[in-house]
Every structure is written in structure tokens, then in C-alpha cells.
Amino acid sequence: MRRFRANSRRTHGATLALFAVTALLLAAAVAHAVPLASPDAAATPAAGAGYAGHQVLRVFLDKHDLASVRSALQGTDIWTDLALTSTYVDVRADAAHAAQLRTQFRTEVLIADVEAAMTASTQPATVSDDGAAGPGRNAVDGEVAADAVSAKFGIGTNYLGYDAMRSMWDAMAAQWPGRVTVAKVGASYENRTIAAVKVTSGKDGGKEGGKKTVVVVSGLHAREWIAPAATINIMSNLASTYGTVPRVTALLDTFDFYFVPIVNVDGYEYSMTKDRLWRKNRQPTSSSCIGIDLNRNFPYKWSPPSSTATPCDATYPGSKAGEAMEITALTNWITTLPNLVAFYDLHAYSQLWMYPFGYACNAQPTDAAALAAVASTAQAAMNATGAPFAVGSICSTIYEAAGSSADWAYAAPRSHSVTRSSGA
Ligand SMILES: [Zn+2]
């Protein structure tokens, strides 16, 4: 399988997350990452957002307490979640902050010049007909085996703009009629179509409507380009290997998969053309700052912004649950799906497999033991690839975070008309 390239080797595990779905449980894969890699050649390089002098540092926490660490990191951009068990945190900092952090902590420079790294990563990559790396390609790990199917759909060499992605899954639908179909979830604030791609064997699981539904979403956070790329890779692999790979055949005969590769379509395009590190959507707020953090805006146990938060913050949760148009569209659509048994939300940077709940650490899902068991299965699969993942509930693994996709998907659709299958 050809992999999408990312300059961070820590992101590769994302493509494997799907297969834990065989455990038939509601779960969410959530990790946070900011891969710096190349957009598609047609996109305008997004280097001009003023990151000159910025560095990415690994800050080792050693004996520092979390409160003092959080205080010291104010004004920086935290790339790895600052978890209770963290031994380090990766942050982007401007020159002054970076210098200050060096005096306070033991540090390691991960990216010495962020802007230069962005510029380098926007050089167009090329791939020869046999799929081998071309002169513009930065093959990081050698995982670039030719894959005729992936090559056919342009997968594997560049991060694509949204229009190019839409062309790709339209082509998949044409290639595998009945197995791949494209539907509309809704519209973004800037009126882009949020698309869903259904991959199914076409079999009905023994009775009409009898198959179980798995939802995979990605691209809630604009800058995490590897996540939509991984989702498209998963879609392509499922569609192309049904009937030839027994595990995939069994999966598609048991489940219908619905993928939403990019929820935050506006933010994604903005990150490609204006600001590589943009995270939120592009909806206006009550202030002059734009954007709501989609993964803080889901309408389940949503919390209003803290007294110190402002709409300018990268994690601004909105002024009310479901305020973001993309979230309303997504949640309305998911609620219409029959037999939903699993939900995955792929993010990037960090290697964490997290499940509900995030809104409170003392809230226990009724399936906590089963969710933990699925997580352990996933963890073992990740470890086998050389990408060790930490697992746990969102709150216990990182911190209290309300309004996340995982909390909503676990708790909310079941209060509507969705029936969970027995044994799931
Ligand atoms: Zn994210």
C-alpha cells in the first residue's frame, strides 16, 4: 500500500486505525498533528503567513508541574497535547518564545526554521509512471511501493486541494459503480459541499437495512492534512481490494462504510492557500477573529468558552453548541444513518487512540471496558508497525475537552432513531 508522505513519521499509524473497527464498537481515534508536507502542485503554496523565525521545539517536562508548563507555553502553538502523563510537549514558538523556553526547560529543536520547512514542502512532487519517487519527491521512509490503483487516482505523492479530492472520489465512484457512491452531507459556511463517500459490498447483510454502519470522518482541523489523505487511502484500499483480500471482503460484507474525508472544507482550503497552520473553520464570530474549532463545537455536553478564552483562540468552541455550520450539517446527516455501530475521527500529530468521554473525567461510558478493549487491539496493531500509541479516554489521556466528535458520536445519535445492534 502506498502511503501518503508526511515529514513526520509519527503520522503513519493513522492509515491503520480503521481495522480496529472489526471490534464493532463506538470509538474515536483522536490524535493531534500538524504534518508539514506538500500540497498538490495546483494549489497555491501556503507559505506566506508570517512564520519567519518560528521553531518547533520539543520541550521536556522533567520535574516541572503542569500548571507552570501551561503558563510557560502561553503564546505558543502546542502540537502534541499536553497530557497528564506527558514527558514532553512539542510546540511552535516564535523566536522570542523559543529563546525563553530554552532558558526554562531542556529542549530539542525539531524544526529549526518553520517557514523554510513550509517553503520546502510546497515544492511540487512528481511521480514517474511506475510509481517511483521522482526528482521532487522527498521519500522519507521508503514506503513508496507502486500501487496501480492508488496511482490511477493520484494517491500517494501530494496533498491535494479539495477540488482535486472531489475529482478523485468521483472517479472512484465511476470505477466501482455500486461499491462507491458519493453523497452530500451539507454545505460549509463558504458554501462548499461537504461530501460523504459510501463504500459498500452491495450485499445487504442478509436482510434489507441489516448491515452495520461505520462512519469515518477527518479534516475537522484544517491543518492536519495527513488525516483526509489517510481517509482517502483507506477508501481506495477498501474499494479496490474487495473480493481479493479476504479481510476486506469480510469487512465490506458486514459493514457499510461512510467516509467524510474533509469536514472543514473551508479551513482546509484556507490552510492550503493562506495560512498553513490554520485549524478552525472560516465562520465569523462575535469578534473580528474568524473561526470555530469544530472539534469543540459538537452538541453534546458542550461547554461555553472559559472566561479567559476569546474567539481569537485556536480552540475557540463557538458561542453555542452546533454553531458551526459544518457541525450542524455533519450531525444532522449522521443521525439519519441506520445501524450506526462505530465512529472514527482521524486527527494528526501525536499517537493517541482515545475514546469517550472528554467532557469530564468522572463520566464513564457504559461500554468503557469494551472501548478500552478495542483501544488495546488498535494499540497492538499500531505497535506492530513501529508506531507506539497511547490509549485511554480523552479526558484521562489529555485533558478535559468538551464538544468533541467522539463524545457526541458515542452518546447523541443513540438518543435519536438509531438502533445499535445487539452484540455491538
Ligand atoms: Zn485535530
Q: What proportion of the chain, given as a percentage, has pLDDT over 90?
A: 56
Query: 348 CA to middle of ligand 1, Å?
Result: 6
**Spacing, Cα 352 to ligand 1 middle (Å):** 11
> What is the number of other CB atoms lying within 10 angstroms of the CB of residue 265?
29
CATH for 32: 3.40.630.10
Q: Are residues 195 and 78 in the same domain?
A: no
Task: Report the pLDDT averaged over residues 353-370.
Answer: 92
- Residue 370 CA, ligand 1 centroid: distance in Å: 24
> How many angstroms is it from 78 CA to the middle of ligand 1?
12
Distance 128 CA to ligand 1 centre (A): 33
Give the list of residues 6+ apart from residue 364 with CB closer than 8 angstroms, or none.
357
For residue 209, pLDDT over 90 is answered with no
Answer yes or no: do 238 and 154 share one domain: yes
Instruction: Say whether pLDDT at 88 is over 50.
Output: yes
What mean pLDDT do residues 172-186 have? 96
Residue recorded with cell 436482510: 207
For 303, the grid coordinates are 461547554
Residues 237 and 108 in one domain: no
Residue 104 belongs to a domain with what CATH number?
A: 3.30.70
Q: Which among 88, 112, 136 is the end of a domain?
A: 112
Total tally of structural domains belonging to the chain: 2
Residue 405 maps to a domain:
yes
Do 75 and 181 belong together in one domain? no
**pLDDT in the model for residue 154:** 60
Q: How many whole angstroms from 423 Cα to the centroid of ligand 1?
A: 31
Domain closes at, from 112, 137, 161: 112
Please give the Cα distance from 100 to 155 (Å, whole number): 42
- Kindly state the DSSP code that residue 23 receives in the 8-state scheme: G
Query: Beta strand pairing status for 180-187 and 340-346?
Result: unpaired
Instruction: Determine the structural domain holding residue 66 and report its residue range.
Output: 55-112
Ligand 1 centroid to residue 18 C-alpha, Å: 17
| 220 CA to centre of ligand 1 in angstroms | 6
CA 347 – ligand 1 centroid, Å: 4
pTM tops 0.75: yes
Residue 97 has pLDDT above 50, yes or no: yes
Ligand 1 centroid to 345 CA: how many Å?
9
Claim to verify: residue 235 and residue 338 sit in the same structural domain: yes
Residues 6+ apart with CB under 8 A from 39: 45, 46, 122, 158, 159, 160, 161, 225, 272
Residues 220, 89: one domain? no
Per-position DSSP letters for 306-362, written without gaps between them: PTT--TTSTT---SSTT-SHHHHHHHHHHHT-TTEEEEEEE--SS-EEEES--S-TT
Distance 35 CA to ligand 1 centre (A): 11
Q: How confident is the model at residue 248 (pLDDT cuts 50, 70, 90)?
A: very high
Rounded to the nearest angstrom, the distance between the alpha carbon of 228 and the centre of ligand 1 is: 11
Burial of 207: CB neighbours in 10 Å, binned 0-12, 13-18, 19+: exposed
Assigned domain for 259 exists: yes
Task: Say if residue 41 is in the same domain as residue 61.
Answer: no
307 lies in a domain?
Answer: no
59 shares a domain with 41? no
- Which tens digit of pLDDT belongs to each residue from 20-42? 222 223 333 333 333 333 333 33
Same-domain check for residues 34 and 59: no
In the numeric block, the cell 461537504 is attached to 194
Q: Using a pLDDT cut of 70, give the percent of the chain over it.
A: 75
Q: Which helix (H) or strand (E) segment is 216 a member of?
A: strand 212-218
How far, in Å, CA of 215 to CA of 126, rounded?
33
Classify residue 423: in a domain, yes or no: no
Task: Give me ligand 1 centre to Cα 219, in Å.
Answer: 8
Give the whole-angstrom CA distance, residue 133 versus residue 3. 12
374 C-alpha vs ligand 1 centroid, how far in Å? Answer: 21
Query: What is residue 48's three-state secondary structure?
Result: coil
In a domain, 246, yes or no: yes
4 within a domain of the structure (yes/no)? no
Quick check: is 306 in a domain?
A: no
What's the 407 CA to ligand 1 centre distance in angstroms?
A: 15
- Same domain (yes/no): 240, 261: yes
Residues 251 and 132 placed together within one structural domain of the fold: yes
Do 323 and 376 belong together in one domain? yes
With b meaning 16 or more CB within 10 Å and e meaning fewer, what string describes 270-300?
Answer: bbbbebbbbbbbbbebeeeebbbbbbbbbbb
Residue 259 to residue 265: CA distance in whole angstroms: 14
Indicate whether 198 belongs to any domain. yes
Cα–ligand 1 centroid distance for 210 (angstroms): 33
